[in-house]
Structure 1
Amino acid sequence: MANNHEQFIAFNDAIKLNDTKKEELRENRDALRKKIEKYFNDNLPNETKPGFHAQGSFMMFTTVNPIPIITENEDGDTITLRPYDLDDGIYFIDKLENKKESKIYRNWIYDAVKCHTSKGAEKKASCIRVNYADGHNIDLPIYFEEKDKKDVIPELAQKSGYIESDPIEFLTWFNDLADEQLRRIVRYFKAWRDKQMQDSDITLPPGIILTILVSNNYVKNDRDDISLQETLQKIKNELDINYVCYRPTTKKDEELLKDYDKTHFLDRLSKFIESANEAVNHSSQKEACKKWQKHLGERFSCSNIKEENESNEAKSFSSPAIINKNAESA
């Protein structure tokens, strides 16, 4: 059986956010927080000041570097866009009688950040999005939470009004389950999704759904290639029986897969599993690696693999003098 665990570990290093990028994102997030705080101090001194709580894949340590998009800017210069995001929740914690309409909170935050970057901000259905020149963005979902009330569920201020939503509960749920291998498996699955969507115009389920599916079906193994193979198979078995994915936290009755085409997703997943099975059972490590690479892209490198016959061939071209000298010293 071919063992590509080392190639997966190298792939993980290639797709996860490095410390420099993490620090850049934190600095951008903190600058936005200061901008919002200043806006309230200068323009709304008598209103309840918002608090902040980072959420999403950045806080779960499962964010992946996106596949770069090469394009041109307004001056015709070639630039590389990296379209990923960070979520930073904004919380208005106040007495119920002071609760504003969702559009008021949304307008306040939009006005605070709309000129923060050259790319500006936009009002999305469930957040205010701040865009950056390199293609990444920071999403600012806004919540109202009733003050001094136990077991209160925050309400997300959407364009259409409020809905119950608790991303901190989801963050806790995942972090309580996850070990380092599970986080890597989530990253691999997300990177697979990115590659599939780069190669076609189909839409596959987003990261939150992939995270839930992996977490519910995770198979631990000393090798990442086998862990991924067996986890994928469990996910497929589950979805073949019932094509649903329920949010494990508030709202627990929310079915997340209903808007994503079953045929496209399961077809791509089946092909990935077929290649995974072939790879794990292959006699050649390099050929097995190529089967993984077909679905994960060029960032999954096979260049450092040398088969046994290649190593022997390399030895045959070594200098006889050096060989004899090594033999004597042994």
Structure 2
Amino acid sequence: MSLQTYFKEFNKVIKMDYDVKSELKEKRDILLGILRNDDDMPAFDEYNQGSYSMHLGVEPLDKEYDIDVGLRFHVNRDDYEPMDLKEKIRDLLKNHTEYGAKIKKPCVTVTYKKDGEAAYHVDLVTYVYEDKDDSDSQLYLARGKNRDSEETCWEKSDPVGLVEYVNDKYKGDDNKEDREQFRRVVRYIKRWKNKKFSSSGNAEPPSIAITLIAVDHFEASKKYDYIEEKYCYDDLQAVISFAKEIQKLFVFKEVNEIGRLMYTIEYNLPSSLNFESDVNLFRKMSDNYMTDFKEKIDDLVDDLEAVKSETDEVEQCKMLSKIFGDDFPIPEKKNAAKKQMNFIPSTSASGVD
């Protein structure tokens, strides 16, 4: 089999299949029912957002599944403080599970237990309108953990536009195969970062930043297969090229007091959407964390280039397993071709290197 076959097997393992996560959807619907049945809760429309709606979900390493649900309340921003609705949601749901409902900066989280430990959680994100009578008016996100925080505010947001922006990448039946490679490569990078970075604090690069960089910079990659006598998708080259695009975004900042070269990275939400302007998606990461990210991306590119240079397919898969984790399949020698076929140089879908 070709290396591409093993990449696709890896994608199947790590891909979040929301259609089979019926428990998660059932919990979401129960929570929405509780909120709707409360006489004091304003009417709202729900909207699935995040990786769920972008078709980019990855199986979590800690096995705690989540779903982000936007609640667009039919109220005017000027009639409510940012914490009003979040506290109401929290109070209605606080006794629903053993873990209760917890207010976080962007949402209210309800966590569920299964087999004695946290198994999944639902993030409920609160939005209100500039003008409740105009569904096209500006949406505002209720940001903040409590009323006393300086960070608590109404923040301009465009959750529907953001999902459409991502899903418009390779839109249409004619672009289906390019779109599938795009989604596979984003999942590979997300699994890599889940493996390489701590999820506590702000050490881990935000997934939405990785996704938007891919939307703006990813190009499909193919190579010629002499057996099939046609161009076939080349996920190894695609993930190398995308990792190099991330590399290019880092900017040297300074040499710190111990002689370490420090770097920063900045990537804003699309200016075409209705978010607060000039919001760097990496803003929560310290200079040390950004530099860690730069060093790990550099290592990733080097490691992937080494895979590309290796001619033994089994050895390639072993190397990729070290990069992406044990879910990357390693074939037995007898089931794999020992040497890769000779291919012409990889190209993008447009034929440009």
TM-score range, shorter chain: 0.7 to 0.9
> What SS class does the counterpart of residue 294 from structure 2 fall into?
helix
Partner of 1:155 in structure 2?
140
Distance verdict in 2 for CA 1:50–1:67, change over 3 Å: same
Cα drift, residue 193 of structure 1: 0.7
Partner of 1:83 in structure 2?
64
Partner of 2:181 in structure 1?
181
Cα displacement string for residues 42-70 of structure 1 (whole angstroms, at most 9, x for unaligned residues): xx2xx6322211111111111111113xx
| Equivalent-residue separation in structure 2 for 1:285 and 1:186 (angstroms) | 23
| Equivalent-residue separation in structure 2 for 1:128 and 1:141 (angstroms) | 7
- Name the one with the larger strand percent: 2
Q: Could you tell me whether the CA contact under 8 Å between 2:68 and 2:124 is conserved in 1?
A: yes
Cα drift, residue 12 of structure 1: 0.8
Cα drift, residue 308 of structure 1: 4.1
Partner of 1:138 in structure 2?
122
Q: Tell me the TM-score normalised to structure 2 length.
A: 0.76
Partner of 1:8 in structure 2?
7
| Equivalent-residue separation in structure 2 for 1:280 and 1:200 (angstroms) | 33
Q: Could you tell me whether the CA contact under 8 Å between 2:186 and 2:214 is conserved in 1?
A: yes
| Equivalent-residue separation in structure 1 for 2:16 and 2:269 (angstroms) | 26
Larger Rg: 1
User: Aligned AA for 1:243?
Assistant: I
> What SS class does the counterpart of residue 85 from structure 1 fall into?
strand
| Equivalent-residue separation in structure 2 for 1:238 and 1:96 (angstroms) | 36
Cα displacement string for residues 5-31 of structure 1 (whole angstroms, at most 9, x for unaligned residues): 111111111111235543322222111
Distance verdict in 2 for CA 1:252–1:282, change over 3 Å: farther
Distance verdict in 2 for CA 1:293–1:108, change over 3 Å: same
Q: Tell me the TM-score normalised to structure 1 length.
A: 0.81
Partner of 2:173 in structure 1?
none
Q: Could you tell me whether the CA contact under 8 Å between 1:190 and 1:207 is conserved in 2?
A: yes
- Unaligned ranges ≥5, structure 2: 145-151, 171-178, 222-232, 253-263, 340-353
| Equivalent-residue separation in structure 1 for 2:50 and 2:201 (angstroms) | 25
Q: Could you tell me whether the CA contact under 8 Å between 1:3 and 1:280 is conserved in 2?
A: no
- Unaligned ranges ≥5, structure 1: 69-81, 311-330
Counterpart mapping for 1:87-236 below 5 A:
87-95=68-76, 99-133=79-113, 134-145=118-129, 146-149=131-134, 151-159=136-144, 160-178=152-170, 179-197=179-197, 203-221=203-221, 222-236=233-247
| Equivalent-residue separation in structure 2 for 1:279 and 1:27 (angstroms) | 43
Cα drift, residue 200 of structure 1: 11
Distance verdict in 2 for CA 1:189–1:27, change over 3 Å: same
> What SS class does the counterpart of residue 305 from structure 2 fall into?
helix
Cα drift, residue 151 of structure 1: 4.4
Partner of 2:312 in structure 1?
284
| Equivalent-residue separation in structure 2 for 1:307 and 1:292 (angstroms) | 15
> What SS class does the counterpart of residue 135 from structure 1 fall into?
strand
User: Aligned AA for 1:210?
Assistant: I
| Equivalent-residue separation in structure 2 for 1:63 and 1:197 (angstroms) | 17
Partner of 1:63 in structure 2?
57
Cα displacement string for residues 276-321 of structure 1 (whole angstroms, at most 9, x for unaligned residues): 11112211111111221111110111135644469xxxxxxxxxxx
Q: CA RMSD in A?
A: 2.5
The answer to whether the aligner puts 1:24 opposite 2:23 as a matched pair is: yes
Distance verdict in 2 for CA 1:67–1:304, change over 3 Å: farther
The sequence identity of aligned pairs, in percent, is: 26
Distance verdict in 2 for CA 1:67–1:197, change over 3 Å: same
Q: Could you tell me whether the CA contact under 8 Å between 2:3 and 2:313 is conserved in 1?
A: yes
- Give the stretch that moved more between structures: 100-109 or 245-254: 245-254
User: Aligned AA for 1:297?
Assistant: G
How many residues were matched structurally? 290
| Equivalent-residue separation in structure 2 for 1:271 and 1:198 (angstroms) | 17
Cα drift, residue 150 of structure 1: 6.8
Q: Could you tell me whether the CA contact under 8 Å between 2:313 and 2:336 is conserved in 1?
A: yes
Cα displacement string for residues 128-152 of structure 1 (whole angstroms, at most 9, x for unaligned residues): 1001114321111101112233742
Partner of 2:350 in structure 1?
none
- Give the stretch that moved more between structures: 296-305 or 124-133: 296-305
Distance verdict in 2 for CA 1:269–1:225, change over 3 Å: same
Q: Could you tell me whether the CA contact under 8 Å between 1:50 and 1:90 is conserved in 2?
A: yes
